Chain A
Amino acid sequence: MQEARRQDTGSKEREQAVTDVAAVWGVPLMAVHCAHCGEAHLVPKDAVPPLCPFCFQGPVTPQPAYLREEPPEQALPYSVSERKLARILDRWTQGVRFRPAELKATALMQRVRRYLVPLWLVDGRVEGVWRADVGFDYQAVSYQDRYSDRAGWSSRGVTEGRVRWEPRVGRISRTYENLATPALDDHRALMDRLGDFDLGRRTDYNPEAVTGGAVRIPSLEPEAAWTGAETAFVRAAGAECRQAAGADHVRDFTLEAEYDDLNWTLLLLPAYVTWYREGEQVWPVFINGQSGRVSGVRRASTRKANVTSLILGGVALLLFLVGGLLTLLGTAFLPVAAAGGLMLIVGLLLAIAAPVPAIGVWVFNRRSLPTSRR
């Protein structure tokens, strides 16, 4: 697979900055760089955000736009309108006790921004040889027999689906178009957050698609993205070889091929980003602009919970003191002792309940964290 002959033009683009992004993309955009997360974006020239539109933690500084000379070829349109987005965020923020003031749909909507994720679409011709095991589904009958002293034997046939694997080799000469290939180092992590996109609904690029939004600049130029592209070619070829064999499954697919007529174009995937602050930390929220899937951490307010616990604890202490005093007085005046006892009991119960908010929020926040961040 190392024999690939590639005809892309992107290998030296890192060194060549596009000086007039507006002329290429049709919208006045400028490239900025985040000192905190290191990601580069294209943002509207007339509305440069103070914070990075991805991590919301670092200021952005202008930088040269390391881009291809061609604009994106296609974009997926937004299916989630801002009104619908507000409803989605409202639902998402529900169900959090001691919710931070900023974790509200209105607050999130004030900060929401369109965010476009780049994805390479690769066309190319594959010529080579392949080998694989192809699997054919078939059904076989197995049996389960039962015996009991009373009823004797009874038999039941069970039809089982099985796969018969057979080796195949062959040659392939096929052209593939628009194979999706990651354009970002963190593409997989980002897709895990945003979920799947229906690439079949893509349309030709229109400058309006990026107006007012932030566009992530590809961190993988075609040269660096080739590994992903080759994987996509192998996957597509494997599926077609399975189809060619009339089989139901394919495994251990190996391809030795040469790749010609490669053509790389950029597709922009629609998303929204917003954020809220809880404690000292900023928590970003990502929304798939096509499916409406929300990905983010819902935090409860630790401060609110701690204050509630302290108030409860304070009331409990007060009741305990007053109750104790009344109980002492009760030695002289019996009815007062009953009231004092009652206050002691209530104070005790409140003292037990006081840590519950703080502990509950701690557990909730701990559970809401992604596993890798615990």
Chain B
Amino acid sequence: MNNTNRPTALWPPPEGFVPVPSQVAGIELYAPAPEEEPEETRTFKCRHCGGTIAYNATQRQLTCPYCGRTQELTAEEVGQAAAEFEFTLETMERREYGWGEERRELVCESCGAVVAVAPDALTSTCAFCGSHRVLARDVTDDVLRPTTLIPFVVDNERLQAQVAEWLGQGWMHPPELRGVRALRELTGVYLPFWTFDARIRADWKAEVGTRRTERYYADGEWRTRTVIDWRWKSGRVRLPINDHLVAGTAHVSRVILRKVAPFNLHGLVECDPGYLAGWQAKAYDVQLQEAWEIAKEEMRERAKRACHSDTGSSHVRNFRMTADFADERWRYILLPVYLASYPFEDRTFQVMINGQTGKVAGQKPVAWLRVWLAIAALLSPGACLGLLGLLTVPLGGIGAFGLVVGFILLVAGLIGAIFLFRKARASEEV
């Protein structure tokens, strides 16, 4: 084959191609180099002083806390173009396992949460529930390796003040909250998420009603009434869904997670283990198939709403539809949040901060006396006026008027009271 060594349009093989075994003698084969094997577990030590270095959210690079030297991270920002995978067994088997760096796991005996930490991390507090009953063990490599993550952007130094300000907001909380500074260890944790894409073609068929007013004669007079004319209709809706997020852990409050959302997925970068240095990372405990079922249910409900909207009427009956999914793809990503807890009156409350946007959400104790007083204040005008009206009904029209206005005010107050009560409940909800 000497005469085939000279360069041509086809030869030599493009950059990145490597020889691969051939099943036919006399035929040489070159293929794109396979994705890099999981790197040897990396340790993050300063090249100058040997101290443990960590990813610094402010400087967006690895920093040695002892000598201040920095080390750049070269991972490419891929955003929503990050690689996605189909639902094949083969693809799942091909994903690399492990974290790509030396890590240990902390297992909380109280809530069961498992987080991966650097081997020399000194922590004995569960970031999820604040419990100190934490055991350390060697990390297991039987989890998929995340492909992309959003790095921490918000610096935790200014978070204390930000959280304190958030705690002081709102009249329905105890005033003592303003003084709470005892945020237990504010821990930056990369939380696991699954993202799903799909194209849905939804075909629907239903009886759709159209309102019509008609006149009819009854009891000696002409009257009007509204009737609904039903007729069968069908249609098709195409719904592309991109990056539908499902939490990969059941150990974090979904209510609070929803409150700190959204995350800007344009900020996704390739998962360089350097971003994990000095930070905790939670492995997924909601499996891919389980998460896909959750996502699929949410997606098809969206498709159903889109079909209902396509009917063009609020009167729909005997509705049926099919949702054909195509190009289903998934990604396993890590998103940054700070978790913290604080004690208040013998109870522990959780706080979560979006590590990308700084948005704070969490549980806040409620001063129920204030809430009940507010509810009483909302209900009392209606109740009083109604009572007064009731007493003055024998006097004629003024009494009836008072009764009606009192009733209206009572209903309005009731609606406001329910809203207030639910808001107060949600504030303490996990």
Using CB atoms and an 8 Å cutoff, list the residues of chain A in contact with chain B: 127-131, 138-149, 153, 155, 162, 166-174, 240-241, 243-246, 254, 256, 258
B residues near A129, Cβ cutoff 8 Å: 4, 8, 10-11
Are A244 and B13 in contact, with the CB atoms below 8 A?
no
Q: Quick one: which of A141, A142, A146, A240 contacts B27, CB cutoff 8 A?
A: A240
Given A172-B28, A244-B22, 15 other A-B contacts at CB below 8 A?
A127-B3, A143-B325, A146-B322, A146-B323, A147-B320, A147-B323, A162-B86, A166-B31, A168-B31, A170-B30, A171-B11, A241-B24, A243-B23, A244-B23, A256-B11
Are A149 and B320 in contact, with the CB atoms below 8 A?
yes
Using CB atoms and an 8 Å cutoff, list the residues of chain B in contact with chain A: 1, 3-4, 8-11, 13-14, 17, 20, 22-24, 26-32, 86-88, 90, 296-297, 300, 304, 317-326, 328
Q: A336 CA to B11 CA in the complex, in Å?
A: 101
A residues near B9, Cβ cutoff 8 Å: 256
Are A240 and B28 in contact, with the CB atoms below 8 A?
no
Q: List 10 A-B contacts (CB under 8 A).
A: A127-B1, A144-B322, A145-B300, A146-B323, A149-B318, A167-B31, A168-B29, A171-B11, A174-B27, A244-B23
Q: Quick one: which of A144, A145, A148, A244 contacts B24, CB cutoff 8 A?
A: A244
B residues near A241, Cβ cutoff 8 Å: 24, 27, 29
Are A256 and B31 in contact, with the CB atoms below 8 A?
no
Distance between B315 CB and nearest chain A CB, rounded to angstroms: 13
A residues near B319, Cβ cutoff 8 Å: 147-149
With known contacts A138-B90, A167-B31, A258-B3, A145–B322 Cβ distance under 8 A? yes
Q: A149 CA to B205 CA in the complex, in Å?
A: 11
Distance between A124 CB and nearest chain B CB, rounded to angstroms: 14
Are B27 and A170 in contact, with the CB atoms below 8 A?
yes
Q: A153 CA to B322 CA in the complex, in Å?
A: 9
B residues near A147, Cβ cutoff 8 Å: 300, 304, 319-323
A residues near B304, Cβ cutoff 8 Å: 147
Q: Quick one: which of B31, B86, B320, B323 contacts A140, CB cutoff 8 A?
A: B86
Q: A254 CA to B9 CA in the complex, in Å?
A: 10
Q: Quick one: which of A146, A169, A173 contacts B1, CB cutoff 8 A?
A: A173
Q: A16 CA to B24 CA in the complex, in Å?
A: 42
Are B27 and A244 in contact, with the CB atoms below 8 A?
yes
B residues near A155, Cβ cutoff 8 Å: 296
A residues near B29, Cβ cutoff 8 Å: 168, 170, 241, 244-245
Are A142 and B30 in contact, with the CB atoms below 8 A?
no
Are B27 and A171 in contact, with the CB atoms below 8 A?
yes
A residues near B31, Cβ cutoff 8 Å: 166-168, 245
Distance between B79 CB and nearest chain A CB, rounded to angstroms: 24
Are A130 and B10 in contact, with the CB atoms below 8 A?
yes
Distance between B351 CB and nearest chain A CB, rounded to angstroms: 37
Q: A181 CA to B39 CA in the complex, in Å?
A: 53
Q: Quick one: which of A128, A148, A243, A244 contacts B4, CB cutoff 8 A?
A: A128
Distance between A296 CB and nearest chain B CB, rounded to angstroms: 43
A residues near B26, Cβ cutoff 8 Å: 172-174
Q: A281 CA to B17 CA in the complex, in Å?
A: 64
Residue picked from B3, B87, B296, most chain A C-beta under 10 Å: B87
B residues near A172, Cβ cutoff 8 Å: 26-28
Are B326 and A246 in contact, with the CB atoms below 8 A?
no
A residues near B14, Cβ cutoff 8 Å: 167, 169
A residues near B3, Cβ cutoff 8 Å: 127, 258
User: A167 — nearest CB in chain B belongs to which residue?
Assistant: B32
